Structures are given as structure tokens and as C-alpha cells.
Structure 1
Amino acid sequence: MSATSPSFWLDSLGPLDRRPALPGDRTADVAIVGGGYTGLWTAYYLAKADPTLSIVVLEAEYCGFGASGRNGGWASGLFPVAEEKLARRYGGERAAAMHIALGDAVDEVGRVAAAEGIDCDYAKGGTISLVRSPAQLRRARSAPGFVGADEARAICGANDVLGGIYSEHCAALHPAKLARGLASAAERLGVTIHEGTRALRISRGTVVTDHGTVRAGTVVRALEGYTAALAGHRRRLAPVYSLMIATEPLPAAFWERVGLARRETFTDERRMVIYGQRTADDRLAFGGRGAPYHFGSKIRPEYDRVPQVFEALRRTLGELFDIDPPIAYRWGGPLGIPRDWMPSVGLRDGIGWSGGYVGDGVAAANLGGRTLADLIRGESTERTGLPWVGHRSRRWEPEPARWLGINVGLRATALLDAWDRRPAA
């Protein structure tokens, strides 16, 4: 991987032509801070709905630089809050609507990619969560979509599979191709994108950047894991790192044994999240949590690479598939976690936001962008009635409590997984 590229996905695109920075002060109808999925989907749907709007996207680096160009390539209908918990708070009908809307967003991503000619290797094969220990099996048997060992192994031929939980609501894709293609599609609709333009402060009607000030009727905060770097937002979302590896292309004999014939994405039922996909060029792209949270919500390039986490991912991949995987790429980056793990979208006092996806943002950002477009245009739709609309998580604790709490939680999660793997008595 090149020294200047933060992921395999971005590296595979080759050199990127950067768009010009903001040339100075200007006005717009809508100013969107962040050139990842959330900001780009919001701009795209706004421009489609009302071509007369002047829309400006402001990106500190380049579109897709953050999680949108580094994630596992899962466009999934997953939501970090269980439907049962949503139902207790918002009622069963609204909770079900939230999960249906996310499942539909998986298809919407594919529909727009096809309509706009975005070749992002989209393949809707679903996702399988493998059950690989007796403790996991006890928890998983009653879950919707549970399948037996033979059916699970037929989808993903990993070792020690006792069953699985399958969902059709997931597509594998190339995330950086989607991000860059979406940016071009938005520009074709008249959206102006300024890269290399870092937002320093936002307030009602104003975005102050390092290249000038944009005044707009509506300001949208779409920074996800980088939200903490914005003045006054350090405790809004915690930037927690997820790291990935990608193998060299693997031979046909491996895929005949392992399967993933429809490019199903895969994980297992451990608590410390892992995630993988078969790429369009027959690599395994595989990631997981476990990297530490950094004091003060700091975000630095060196945090993208933690050798011991990369080695743990390599070992896990080897143990899953009984291989010594030839690793070609290693990378990572921050994702945004709200205090209550509940993503949200909303518009208040002229400032819109969507985020806190807890790592499942590829499809959720599409839904968030469509919802923001509705809210900004003052439309009441099924989307604007979903339970995440207007939700505000309480802020994370001040340091050092934030650092202690998050890292103790990570350690406890690892210990619980080790307990699950203990030999049966």
C-alpha cells in the first residue's frame, strides 16, 4: 500500500485528482461539512429533489478519506440498537419501520449505483454470522434467521461452525469506489465540492473553515468519527478505531472450499466485532475492533496502525479458514460511537446532522442522507417519522472517565469472548 493511501480500497483507485479548496468567503443555501457517505448522500438527494438549491460540500481531505473509504464494504440493514429495545421505547410499529427502512436502504444503494454508473462491485449476497462455540449456540438458537451447521457451512466454510444467523439484507461492495462515484454524481447535479478545506467551527448559518467562511441557510454536520475534532463537539461522538487487513488474491481451490459464492459478508457471534468479505478480485478483506480509544478523543494518523491488532486479525483469519493468509494491506481509522449507541438524524435551529452509526454506516448513511433532504426541504415523510429522527444522545463523560470507561469496556468484551471459548466441562 502506498505511503499516502489510508486503505486498500483507496489505494486500488490509483492517484486521486483533488478538487480545489474553498477560494474564500461565499454563501449557499446548504453547507455540508464532511465529504463522506452522509454528506454526499445528503447533497445528492437534495440536488435531485430541488436543482435550484446551491449546495456546498466542505471536506478537510478528499471525498472518501475517512470511514467511507476505509470500512469493511458492508451495506447492511444492521442497526446497533435491537428492535426489541427500540420497541420498548418507541413502540413496535416504529421499531419495525426502522429496521425495514434500513433493509430497503441496502437496495437503494445498489439502485443509485446502477443508475449513476458507479461500478462499486455491489453484490447483494446477504450476511452470515457464524456460531462457533457452545455458548454462542445457546444464545443464537432462538434468533431470527438461525440456520443449522450444514447450511451455515454451505455459505461460509469456516472451521468449527455449529450454526449461523443469516440475513438477506446486506451487500458487499467496494466502499471507496462508491464514495468517489457518489461525489461525481453529486457534482453532475450541480453540487459544489471543496476538498482540502477544514471546518473549524459551525454555528447557525455559518461554517468557519481554514480557507474562508461559508454562510448558509442550513448547515449539516456529517463528520462521523471526526466529529470530536470540531470545536465544541469533543464529547458528542467517541472516535473508536477499527482496523483491517486484506490478503493477496486467493486461489480458486480456496474459494471452492470456503464458498462465499455470492460474496456473502461474514462475521461470527463473538462480542468483539469482526467482519469480512470476499472482494471482487478474490481477496479476503477482514477487520475488527480491539484497538484502544485514545485519551481526549484524539485522532492521529499513527493510530490507524496497531501492529498487535493486525497480528490478531491475521491469526483470527488463519484460525477461521485454516490458512496462513498472505497479507497485502493493513489499515484502520475511527468510527463514531454515541454514548447510548443510538444513531441519530435531525435538524434543529438550522443545523442538521446524521451519524453515530457505530460502524454500520454504509446503508444507514444513505437513509440518513435521504431523511436530511426531507427535513431540510420541510417535508413530512415516512422517513421523518422514524425513531432515530430528532434523537439526541447525552454527551460522553469528561476525561479521564471517558478513556477509562471505553477501554475497560473493550477489555471486558475480550475477556467475555475468551470465557465463551473455554472448553466444555
Structure 2
Amino acid sequence: MQETHKSMKDVSFWFAELIEKNDIAWPKMLHQTIDIHADVCIVGAGYSGLWTAYELLSASPELNVVIIDAKYPGYGASGRNGGAVIPRINGSREFWGSIKGKTGTMALEKALVEAVDHVGHVIAQENIDCGYTKNGMLELARTPLELQRLVEALQEDRRYGHGPAEIRMLSKSETASRITAEGVIGAKLTVNAACIQPAALVLGLTKAVSQKGARIYYNTPVTSIESCLATTTHGKVHADIIVCAAEAYTQSIVTERNKITPVHTSMLVTEKLSEEVFAQIGWGDREVVLAEHPFLHLQRTRDGRITIGGDDNRLTYKYGSVPCTDGPAEDKVFATYREELVRLFPALANVKIEHSWQGVFGARRDWAPAVGLNKKTGIAWIGGYVGEGLAASNLASRTLTDLILGRETQLTRLPLVRELPRKWEPEPLRMLGSVAILKMRHHGMKMERKTGRHSPMVDFANKLAGFTGFTG
């Protein structure tokens, strides 16, 4: 794996940081597959694949588990994300309720809250040095319209059983006591949320599953998945169960095309900031921070930097849903996020952006994740988190573990367990539709910021896209 270290620096700051600290000693991994037999073959060594292997081998150590990845563990969104472990999942409460009713939706939300703690528990148990810090999440409101939406969301939270000990509103002054961001008039605080160094979690999970007996094959692209068979560029893997956990890179598997499409995203990270700067900003508890118009996620890293990123598909969509190349964010994306960072924190106007990177996360056609197992074919599916995968992937993997082991549990009764939605439209329809919808959303949000009133255009664009929102 040593030969990949130089290219890892282009993947994300998170990998670059580990390399600079000489802290990326991978466990032994294999390359040639030829002809392999296993009980379970997991395609994809991101969070979904690694968590599934971890849970399977924790429950049944005798299992023969093989993990195959076209690159190396964490190459995709798992090594590039914002590091927010939050009890949130794509798909609105109405969407999940249409599958299992309000009770099922409430059970899903409870399971997501517990997943945040389960991630922390495994990190502590396996002694993974990824800076897990559980100090909550702040969703900032900078306009009366945004504040109104947060209040309405809180009222809905109450109807779904979330009390003040879990989620509550903060006044302008209460928010300022935690973080000083320009124009903020209030915030919604979710207590049960954490932040991490994403690539360090990947590395720790890779070591843990290797120690439990999983065989990991890197630089081994899978070309097709059939009943009890995964065909790779180096041979075949025969297994009772084949788990497709390739997420945004599912398009490269002929038999899986158009089940998940990649959505582009980018991130920036500042240089290390001085205590004087943080004296102005605050943010001493390192809460996860979200903001809107456009959607932004931010983290204060454990070594005193600030990361910022979001969904930039409007600026970078590529025909055929081709994943972006490794390397820095495109100039127009870089400029957008730099501008948003300074808009939030004017004190950072002259701060250097030390690193930027881009990547993709996976979205299913109904913009919601799915977990399932076809017992006749032995093919299992997991993923489609639409950028909300850190806690959700842990929950999904434990759910899939129960399905594979034939255990009927509270997790297997969650609405997350469902059939795959219909596939994405073929090109050029996908590109034409995506560009039109994203432009409508962008224009609608721009008008909302300008007028302070809700834009029906955003609702119309969401309806056309099939996007219902999120839960949590």
C-alpha cells in the first residue's frame, strides 16, 4: 500500500494529515484475487463495507469474510467527508412513514440517535485515534425565514418524541455564547452528535476488521455481481452472500448501473488558527455546524482548523454521472466556499486556505438509503445516504448483519429495510433533468435569501427530483 500514499494526499486533507504524521500503517492487504471462496463477500471498503465486516465478525467470528475495493479503504466519501456523526438520515418523516408508519419512523430516529453512541463505543473499544468529540450539532439561522423553519422542525421533533434533553432551540445570545457567526439570530441544538477525523476512522476500522480475520483486497475492481458470484478484473469471488457497498462508485459495476448516482461535493480547510482568532469566533466545544443558503457543513478540527463544504453538484455535474478526479476543488467551487466561510466569520478574511479537495457521495433515485437481502440470490444492498452517512452507515451495517445472520430484531423491522427503488434515468435525460432542477433550486434559494420569503420554486424542484427532505 505504500505506493498509494502520494496519491492519497490528493484525496483529502484527512489522508494527507495522516501521511504527514506517518500514521497510516495499513494492515496486510492482498492484491491478486484469482479464485476465492468465502461466506460473505463485501464489495466496497468504505464505512458501509467496513462496518458490515466488523459487525458480522463480532457476532460470528467463524465467518469467512472478504472485502474487495477498486482502490483502497476510504478512497470514496468515507475518506473525504466533513466528519459529522449526526442522527440524521435522508428521506422525510412522511417518506419513512409511508413504509412503516409513524411508529416505524420514530423507531428509525431512535436507532439513529443510538448509532451516534455506538460509533463512539466502537472507537473507544478498538482504541481508534480519530478525535471523536461528542458536543452536539448547531443548525444556524441567519434570516427570520430560516429561524421559522428551525422552529417548525423543532415542533415536529416534539411530535415524534424528542424532548429538550435531545433537541432544543437556542436564542441569539445563547448561540453567541457557543459560536460567534455573522448575522446569526438563533440555532437549533441537537445534543447527540459528534465530529471525527474521517480517514482516521477508516484506518482504525480497517485494522479492526483485519484483526478479526477479514481478508481485504485492494486495487481490485469488481465488474459484475451475480448470485453468489462477484467477478473482478483479477478473478472471481464465490460467496453465499454478496454485499454491494460500492456507494457512489456503483456505476462502474455493469450489473449495478444507475442504482446509485454520484453527487459532487467539495471541501476546504484553513491553516491552523491562532487562539486570538478563536477568541473572536468562540466554538470552544467544537460542535458540528450546519448552515443554509447554500447548504454548508463545518467542523473545528482538533488541531485548530476550520473545514467547510457542501453539495456542489450544480457547479460540477459531469455527463454520465462520472465521479470527479482526485485533487483540489474547482476554482468556482473554491471561490464559493471561501466566500461563504468569510460571510460566516469575517475575522477569517485573510486566513489561508491550506487544502481543498473534491469527491462524490451516492444517491438512490428516491434520495433515501436502503438496506436489504435477497435470500434467493444471496445479493445484499446497503447505502445511498446522500451525504449523511457517518451514523447511518453504522446503523445500516448492523441492520444488514442481522438480515445476513437470519435474526429478526428491532433493526430488521425498521423502514430502512426495503426493496431498491427504481433506477435513475439514462443519459442524456439524467443530465438535462439534473441541471434544470439544480438551477431551479439555486435560483429559489437565492430569491429566499434576497426577499426573506419562502420560494415555491424550491418545492417544485424538489418534487421533480423526487427529493423529500431528511429525518432527524
Q: 1:304 to 1:342 in 2, by over 3 A?
A: farther
Alignment of 1:28-177 (within 5 A): 28-144=38-154, 145-177=168-200
Aligned equivalents of 1:97, 1:198: Cα separation in 2: 37
Residue number in structure 1 paired with 2:227: 204
Structure 1 gap segments, 5+ residues each: none
Match of 1:244 among 264, 267, 271: 267
Write out per-residue CA displacement over residues 269-295 of structure 1, whole angstroms, 9 at most, x where no aligned residue: 33x421010001010011011233221
Residue number in structure 2 paired with 1:334: 360
Residue number in structure 1 paired with 2:369: 343
Q: 1:360 to 1:304 in 2, by over 3 A?
A: farther
Aligned equivalents of 1:424, 1:366: Cα separation in 2: 38
Match of 1:187 among 199, 210, 213: 210
**What amino acid maps onto 2:126 in structure 1?**
E
Aligned equivalents of 1:147, 1:17: Cα separation in 2: 43
Residue number in structure 1 paired with 2:34: 24
Worse-superposed segment, 169-178 or 231-240: 231-240
Residue number in structure 2 paired with 1:371: 399
Aligned equivalents of 1:415, 1:232: Cα separation in 2: 37
Aligned equivalents of 2:318, 2:257: Cα separation in 1: 12
**What amino acid maps onto 1:351 in structure 2?**
I
Q: CA deviation at 1:165?
A: 1.4
**What amino acid maps onto 1:329 in structure 2?**
H
Q: CA deviation at 1:304?
A: 6.4
1:320 and 2:383 equivalent?
no
Given that 2:263 and 2:362 are in contact with CA atoms closer than 8 Å, whether structure 1 keeps it comes out as yes
Residue number in structure 1 paired with 2:448: 420
1:254 and 2:259 equivalent?
no
Structure 2 gap segments, 5+ residues each: 155-167, 454-472
Aligned equivalents of 1:352, 1:135: Cα separation in 2: 42
**What amino acid maps onto 2:215 in structure 1?**
T
Residue number in structure 2 paired with 1:294: 318
TM-score by length of 2: 0.86
Q: CA deviation at 1:28?
A: 0.4
Q: 1:302 to 1:123 in 2, by over 3 A?
A: closer
Q: CA deviation at 1:405?
A: 1.5
Worse-superposed segment, 291-300 or 181-190: 291-300
3-state DSSP of counterpart to 1:146:
strand
Aligned equivalents of 2:254, 2:451: Cα separation in 1: 50
Given that 2:108 and 2:414 are in contact with CA atoms closer than 8 Å, whether structure 1 keeps it comes out as yes
Q: CA deviation at 1:86?
A: 2.3
3-state DSSP of counterpart to 1:296:
coil
Q: 1:32 to 1:190 in 2, by over 3 A?
A: same
Alignment RMSD: 1.8
Q: CA deviation at 1:89?
A: 4.2
Percent sequence identity over aligned pairs: 38
Match of 1:13 among 7, 18, 37: 18
Given that 1:58 and 1:194 are in contact with CA atoms closer than 8 Å, whether structure 2 keeps it comes out as yes
Given that 2:33 and 2:237 are in contact with CA atoms closer than 8 Å, whether structure 1 keeps it comes out as no
Write out per-residue CA displacement over residues 87-117 of structure 1, whole angstroms, 9 at most, x where no aligned residue: 3442111000111111111111110000001
**What amino acid maps onto 1:230 in structure 2?**
I
Residue number in structure 1 paired with 2:255: 232
**What amino acid maps onto 1:255 in structure 2?**
F
